[in-house]
Amino acid sequence: MMARGRTIARHALAIVYTLAGIAHLARPAGFVAITPHWVPAPELVVMLTGLAELAGAVGLMIPPLRRAAGVGLALYALCVWPANINHALNDIPLSGVHLSWWYHGPRLALQPVIIWWALWASGAIDWPFWRRR
């Protein structure tokens, strides 16, 4: 049963990261806008993050690369957290729309879940579902 759940989680995560990667490449302006000022070459960084998301999504589907892709996507999610924090704390509008804390609060709180999801779905960790002996 756990293997099926992990497979579903992996496929869902690959879809999410594929869509996010496409968004980063096709419409980078919003991502550039929330990038903290201390990040050099934000346009390039956003492009590279889109490519990283796509590579991670593909890697999740290739068994020999699966764990490395999961660890990479977890580290990626950790590294982009400052952009999400910047977006929230500085109330940066996207397409003229200011998002409330009803968006930012859950988004920031769920970042550790996204990190765990990448690790668990890829098989890099079993926590908290390990088998009792």
pLDDT tens digits along 45-59: 999 999 999 999 999
Which pLDDT score is estimated for 6? 93
Question: Binning pLDDT at 50, 70 and 90, where does residue 133 land?
Answer: low
Residue 92 confidence (pLDDT) above 80: yes
Which pLDDT score is estimated for 128? 81
Q: Where are the alpha helices (DSSP H) in 2-100?
A: 2-26, 29-34, 42-60, 66-89
Q: Which amino acid is at 114?
A: I
Three-state SS for 97? strand
pTM summary value: 0.90
